[in-house]
Amino acid sequence: MSTSQPYIPRPGERPASADRFRGSRLAELKIWWREIDRVLLFLILALMAIGTAAVAAASPASADRLSTAEIRLPDLYFYWAHLRWQLVGLVALFWASMLSKDNARRLGVLLAAGMLCMLFLVPLIGYEVNGARRWINLGVGFQPSEFLKPGFAVALAWILSWRLRDPNLPVIAIVSGIMALVGLLLMMQPNLGATILFGGVWFVLVLLAGVSIQRIGLLIAAGVAALTAAYFLYDTARNRIDSFIGGGTAFDQVDLAERTLLAGGWTGSGLWLGVRKMNLPEAHTDYIFSVIGEEFGLLVCALIVLIYLAIVVRVLVRLANEENLFVLLAAAGLATQIVGQAFINILVNLQLFPSKGMTLPLVSYGGSSTIAVCLAVGLLLAITRRNPFLTRETPGLRAMLQDKLSLDERNRA
């Protein structure tokens, strides 16, 4: 009886299993490219390209400001570091965008749970940067609140989607309790800007989940009460709000940012020709929008605003016919988190909002913040993936808004 011998490929011959693996990977990439929102991906990559040029413009100012008598930082120190962080961020973005909707949901929930635990550790083992204890070091320093942002939106959307299985579940109370806990942990740092951003994401999600007009009024009142409490209980919040209301002085960083923003006029002074940026604190992070205004002009600033608006519109268009409640809520929450942070940063630079110490997502220099926002974008792209050959039988977001308006009208009647 002859026994079968294992197949041994000839020299130079590719094993059949390798061809199958290569074919399956290529097929997966083709499916990903067909299902991904390529317009949204292009808008994101355009912002990152603008951010690369912006950090190159701001790097000399920050390098000069942070240099000491012993150590002189090269002018492009932050530019080269930003390129490295962007590369890591792009890997995280494309990896997350290739996940299935279920795996994206699992990743978001695990990320939210893990970073919430990290927030409990920040007061114990965290360290201070610029007077706030927001960072934690586990071999590498990072802000847990930055990585909590994408997980927070996905986790709350998942909890709110439970209503489809059991309408009697107190999902609004659950997500409100999570928001209160997150807000308390953030204000212990203190981090009022992040608290406002998380509150905005929570408000948008509970609004889309079908909260009545009466409850919306109560939520707004609760938000106003929380801000009032922050004003009286936290010196940092009170000082920044007083400075914003009082107009500040010529030496305030927000006033310096506005002066820098307007210094270049419509077309800008040119790359590395800006002068006012040299006096601007955090030129490569919090106030990079002002550096863009001085060196590239207000027209480029307007273009950036339009790109952020286009991201919102594109996500809404994508969700208009979405039939999955979790997908609808998660995508809306992630878009709110990304664009909401952007507009807070822009309003601060325009002196229309108190200083918050918040970066411009996809544009500002950052380590953990760059990776976190790229991960959020990757989750957004994964969640909004759609087979173009499948037809939708439900009108999705459009129907949800119409049903909500009809319900409110019946309640008023």
Give SS3 for 397.
helix
**pLDDT for res 251:** 47
pLDDT at 393: 43
What CA–CA distance (Å, rounded) separates 55 from 61? 10
Specify if 47 maps to a domain.
Answer: yes
* Distance, CA of 275 to CA of 392 (rounded, Å): 55
Position 375: which residue type?
L
The answer to whether residue 8 sits within a structural domain is no
Cα–Cα distance for residue pair 327/157, rounded to 1 Å: 8
Window from 46-60, 164-178, 372-386 with minimum mean pLDDT: 164-178
Confidence of residue 157 (pLDDT cuts 50, 70, 90): very high
Q: Max Cα separation, the chain? A: 97
Q: What is the per-residue pLDDT for 405? A: 54
Asked if residue 29 is part of any domain, the answer here is no
> Residue 107 has which token pair?
């990743």
Task: State yes or no: pLDDT of 201 exceeds 90.
Answer: yes
What is the C-alpha to C-alpha distance for residues 397 and 98, in angstroms, rounded to an integer? 24
What element of type H or E holds 129? strand 127-129
- Of the candidates 68, 160, 153, which has an alpha carbon nearest to the alpha carbon of residue 111? 153
DSSP for 43-91, written as a single string: HHHHHHHHHHHHHHHHHHHHHHHH--SS----TTHHHHHHHHHHHHHHH
Give the per-residue pLDDT at 1. Answer: 47
Q: pLDDT for 10-19, tens place per residue?
A: 555 555 554 5
Q: How confident is the model at residue 95 (pLDDT cuts 50, 70, 90)?
A: very high
Pair of tokens at residue 136: 């934690």
- What does each C-alpha distance from 143 to 86, 138, 181, 291, 370 come to in angstroms? 17, 11, 17, 25, 11
| Residue 101 within a domain | yes
Alpha carbon distance 365, 78 (integer Å): 7
The SS3 assignment for 149 reads helix
Is residue 371 very low, low, confident or very high in pLDDT (cuts 50, 70, 90)? very high
**379 against 231, higher pLDDT:** 379
Q: Which of 175-189, 219-233, 299-313 has the lowest mean pLDDT?
A: 219-233
| 128 bridge partner residues | 133
Q: Is the dihedral of CA 309, 354, 361, 295 positive or negative?
A: positive
Number of domains in the chain: 1
Confidence band of 378 (pLDDT split at 50, 70, 90) = very high
pTM across the whole model: 0.82
In a domain, 17, yes or no: no
- Residue 208 in any domain: the answer is yes
Which of 182, 179, 201, 178 is closest to 330 using CA atoms? 201
In this prediction, residue 348 carries a pLDDT of 85
* Cα-based angle 230, 235, 240 (whole degrees, multiple of 5): 85
Q: Are 264 and 274 within 8 A, CB to CB?
A: yes
Which helix (H) or strand (E) covers residue 137, if one does? strand 132-137
Residue with tokens 């701001």: 58
Range of the domain at 171: 39-384+392-412
Residue 28 falls within a domain, yes or no? no
Summarize the confidence of residues 266-279 as an average pLDDT. Answer: 83
Whether 13 is covered by a domain: the verdict is: no
Asked whether 160 and 207 are in contact (CB, 8 A), the reply is: no
Q: Which two tokens stand for residue 293?
A: 């205004």
Do 129 and 135 form a contact (C-beta atoms < 8 A)?
yes
pLDDT band of residue 413 (cuts 50, 70, 90) is low
Highest mean pLDDT: which of 56-60, 61-65, 232-236?
56-60
Instruction: Look at 64-78, 305-319, 335-349 and tell me which has the smallest mean pLDDT.
Output: 64-78
Query: Could you give the CA distance from residue 273 to residue 290 in angstroms, rounded to a whole number?
Result: 14
- List, edge to edge, every strand of the sheet that includes 132-137: 127-129, 132-137, 141-142
pLDDT tens-digit series, residues 223-238: 677 767 766 666 666 6
pLDDT at 154: 94
- Mean pLDDT check: name the lowest of 279-293, 297-311, 312-326, 395-409: 395-409
- Asked whether residue 250 carries a pLDDT value surpassing 50, the answer given is no
